[in-house]
Amino acid sequence: MARSIHCILLALAASPLLAADAPWRGYAVYQPTIERAVVCDAADQPLRYNHDSSVAWFGDRWFCLWNANAIPEEGEPGQLNYVSTSHDGLTWSAPRPAFSDPGLCVNPVPCLKGTQWQPNLLVVKDQLWCLWSQNSKDEHNGCYLSVLATPGGLWTNRLLTWNGKADPVIDGKAFRLFPTQSPVQLSTGRVLALEFLVNTPAVAHCIREGKTYMLPGIMQTGKNVGMITMDESLRRLYVEGVIARDEVLFRADDKVQMTEFLRS
């Protein structure tokens, strides 16, 4: 399974739609030039597996982070989070391990036999943050917050712990935290919309049989064990007045169902 990372930058502006009985009027519509840039081409370099990309503008350049591996399969040992940067969005630097390369980090995180997963970029005031996780079954296993103070600086990696443990214990049960995409921006900051999957026998069976398309349904019926889908998390944040209506619809997986919810 060879995958490449692509970046598409699109700007489009148009006037709002008129009412059905309004007279016709002509409008000038901006016609953008869309340029497709390849960040990492699996056909031209050793990283054959590329997945879970996150892109952000920080300082004077674009940052693209994703997990990749020379082995063309997901979850194989050697899978690391890589970074590439670009000043124009078209020409990108060669991929480098973002959080394990001593040349990019104050405190690089070793990952000799494990895997790194899903970097999630956030621009917070004058810093670039990244939430990600490592599955290495050693003292470096867990969820990380990495911070970059300047575009050309070094990442500082912080292992997040709860009562001194990488896996928080709730009601006597240990849970593994796994940050994933779609952080939500507020006018005063940011909040994470969380998707929580518990490894029940039904979940394990679906993953083992390759029927991951069934997971959303299982998660909806698994609220009694703490599961929550991304859309349910967005609905809760909206009802609590934390995020705006437009943000909910933009981030939703099932936009039709979310539109019906917002109309009710």
Give residue 31's region: left, alpha or beta (phi > 0; psi -120 to 50): beta
Position 172 in a domain: no
Question: Around 50, how many Cα atoms within 13 Å sit in the side-chain half-sphere?
Answer: 26
222 and 159 in one domain?
no
Q: Residue 58 belongs to what domain range?
A: 1-166
35 and 134 in one domain?
yes
234 and 159 in one domain?
no
Name which of 72-81, 185-194, 242-251 the model is least confident about: 185-194
pLDDT digit string, tens, across residues 178-218: 787 666 555 566 777 878 888 888 888 888 888 888 888 88
143 and 186 in one domain?
no
149 and 251 in one domain?
no
What tokens were used for 109? Answer: 């995180």
140 and 16 in one domain?
yes
243 and 210 in one domain?
yes
Share of the chain above pLDDT 70, in %: 87
201 and 156 in one domain?
no
Position 205 in a domain: yes
What is the Cα–Cα distance from 160 to 107, expressed in whole angstroms?
14
pLDDT in the model for residue 188: 60
- Count CB atoms within 10 A of the CB of residue 30: 8
